[in-house]
């Protein structure tokens, strides 16, 4: 069995009357890229702040590297690299000086530190911007600087809280690739996001949070096997009638169907020939149709089926 790196047991955090974390348990193993996926306000940042002992909590316990985490656990803290949701760098320092400063909090030997800072610069592809001040950087570069500052000292555990929000696609891909690279070179990673595709692409195991509760946990395939949806079929059609909908709903394996006046959406559970049967009904009634899509379940479907709510995604950003 792999080593447990982080163990959160029965964690409860209240802000006044609001229960931000509701008896949360997490067990994160060495070598994982563990995803905390949940909509805004589900408790991701609160979890991270409790983990780091930046926030006191009402109940429960937290162990990191097998020891209880407390505000003065400096031996634990120096093996953790944190990239917070809000970029935290010094405006008066250049890119290079910022990384050197944060690395210097852990590594005092100048020569060793220079090698580490150079490596972090190379890692975050910031070589062309060493003398820039943060104010001159684009959002994506600023995020990359924030990450470089958090990882330069080569921590064993790296925690990233929504590191790709409002980042251009190019920087986003660099960030995701970078995280995989850090993980391959031995770091355990905790990654929070409300972007399900990102978590799906990156994480070895995922816990889904909603209202401070863990509602599901597993690999992406395990999570998808928990739900009844196996296929969602969408067909562009004009003028579909209620009787046709009823006929489609009566087909084997179809458990839901919905028509908004231009697109028919059919949810299926199991079965291999769902699309053929649906198109059969349309042809039988001489109904013309346009484009046809068949989609496998996503983590969004998992969230939807368990909570009845749509998880905010890149496509429907505020
Ligand atoms: P997430 O990071 O998933 O968006 P948060 O952990 O920031 O969620 O927030 C969880 C819940 O706690 C939300 O309802 C949020 O409004 C509330 N919350 C967070 N920080 C505070 C605070 N300092 N005071 C009161 N409520 C807070
Ligand atoms: Mg947050």
Question: Are residues 73 and 169 part of one domain?
Answer: yes
Q: Span 232-241, mean pLDDT?
A: 94
For 11-65, write each residue's pLDDT tens digit.
Answer: 999 999 999 999 999 999 999 999 999 999 999 999 999 999 999 999 999 999 9
Same domain, 197 and 248: no
Last residue of a domain, one of 165, 193, 225: 225
Asked if the model's pLDDT at residue 71 lies above 70, the reply is yes
**What global pTM score does this model have?**
0.90
Residue 312 is predicted with a pLDDT of 64
Q: What is the tally of structural domains in the chain?
A: 2
pLDDT in the model for residue 316:
43
| Residue 250, C-beta contacts closer than 8 angstroms, at least 6 positions apart | none
Measuring from atom 22 of ligand 1, which residue has the nearest CA? 15
Q: How far is the CA of 37 from the centre of ligand 1 (A)?
A: 15
Residue 29 and residue 68 share a domain: yes
Q: Of 129, 185, 138, which Cα lies nearest the Cα of 158?
A: 185
CATH code of 84's domain = 3.40.50.300
Angle at 8 between CA 80 and CA 197, to 5 degrees: 75
Q: Which of 14, 20, 86 to mutate to test the pocket of ligand 1 (most atoms within 8 A of CB)?
A: 20
How many Å lie between the centroid of ligand 1 and the Cα of residue 20? 6
Whether 311 is covered by a domain: the verdict is: no
**pLDDT number for residue 273:** 92
pLDDT per residue over 117-141, tens digit each? 999 999 999 999 999 999 999 989 9
With beta carbons less than 8 A apart as the criterion, state whether 59 and 11 touch: yes
CATH of the domain at 246: 3.30.70.100
Same domain, 43 and 74: yes
Residue nearest to atom 12 of ligand 1 (CA): 20
Q: Which atom of ligand 1 is nearest to the CA of 49?
A: 6
Same domain, 165 and 99: yes
Domain final residue pick, 175, 206, 225? 225
- Any ligand 1 atom below 6 A from CB of 193: no
Residues 211 and 137 in one domain: yes
- Residue-wise pLDDT for 145-190, tens only, equals 999 999 999 999 999 999 998 888 888 898 999 999 999 999 999 9
Are 191 and 288 members of one domain? no
| 69 within domain boundaries | yes
Same structural domain, 138 and 69: yes
Find the helix or strand (DSSP H, E) in which 294 lies. strand 289-295
- 166 lies in a domain? yes
In which band, very low, low, confident or very high, does the pLDDT at 295 lie, cut at 50, 70 and 90?
very high
If you average pLDDT over every residue of the chain, what do you get?
94
Is 39 domain-assigned?
yes
Q: In terms of residue numbers, what domain contains 256?
A: 231-296
Please give the C-alpha separations between residue 266 and each of 51, 174, 250, 301, in angstroms, as whole numbers. 42, 36, 11, 13
CB 42 less than 6 A from any atom of ligand 1:
yes
Give domain status of residue 139, yes or no: yes
Please indicate whether residue 20, judged by its CB atom, sits closer than 6 Å to ligand 1: yes
Of 85, 164, 94, 77, residue with least CA distance to 129: 94
Q: Is the CB of 218 under 6 A from ligand 1?
A: no
């Amino acid at each position: 069995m792999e080593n447990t790196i982080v163990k959160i047991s029965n964690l409860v955090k209240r802000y006044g009357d609001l229960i931000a974390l509701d008896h949360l348990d997490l067990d994160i193993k060495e070598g994982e890229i563990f995803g905390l996926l949940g909509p805004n306000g589900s408790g991701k940042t609160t979890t991270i702040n409790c983990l780091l002992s930046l926030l006191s909590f009402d109940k429960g316990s937290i162990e990191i590297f097998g020891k209880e985490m407390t505000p003065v656990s400096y031996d634990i803290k120096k093996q953790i690299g944190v990239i917070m949701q809000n970029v935290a760098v010094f405006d008066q320092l250049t890119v290079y000086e910022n990384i050197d400063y944060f690395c210097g909090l852990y590594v005092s030997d100048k020569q060793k530190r220079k090698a580490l800072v150079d490596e972090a610069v190379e890692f975050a592809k910031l070589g062309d911007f060493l003398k820039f001040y943060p104010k001159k950087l684009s959002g994506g570069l600023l995020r990359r600087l924030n990450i470089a500052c958090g990882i330069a000292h080569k921590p064993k555990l790296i925690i990233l809280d929504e590191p790709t929000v409002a980042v251009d696609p190019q920087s986003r891909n660099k960030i995701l690739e970078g995280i995989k690279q850090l993980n391959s070179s031995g770091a355990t990673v905790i990654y929070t996001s409300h972007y399900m595709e990102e978590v799906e692409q990156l994480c070895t195991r995922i816990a889904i949070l909603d209202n401070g509760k863990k509602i599901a946990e597993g690999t992406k395939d395990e999570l998808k096997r928990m739900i009844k949806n196996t296929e969602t079929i969408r067909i562009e059609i004009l003028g579909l009638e209620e009787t046709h909908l009823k006929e489609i709903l009566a087909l084997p394996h179809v458990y839901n169907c919905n028509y908004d006046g231009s697109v028919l959406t059919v949810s299926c559970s199991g079965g291999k020939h769902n699309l053929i049967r649906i198109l059969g009904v349309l042809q039988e009634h001489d109904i013309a149709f346009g484009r046809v899509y068949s989609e496998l379940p996503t983590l969004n479907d998992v969230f939807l089926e368990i909570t009845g709510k749509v998880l905010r995604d890149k496509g429907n950003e505020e």
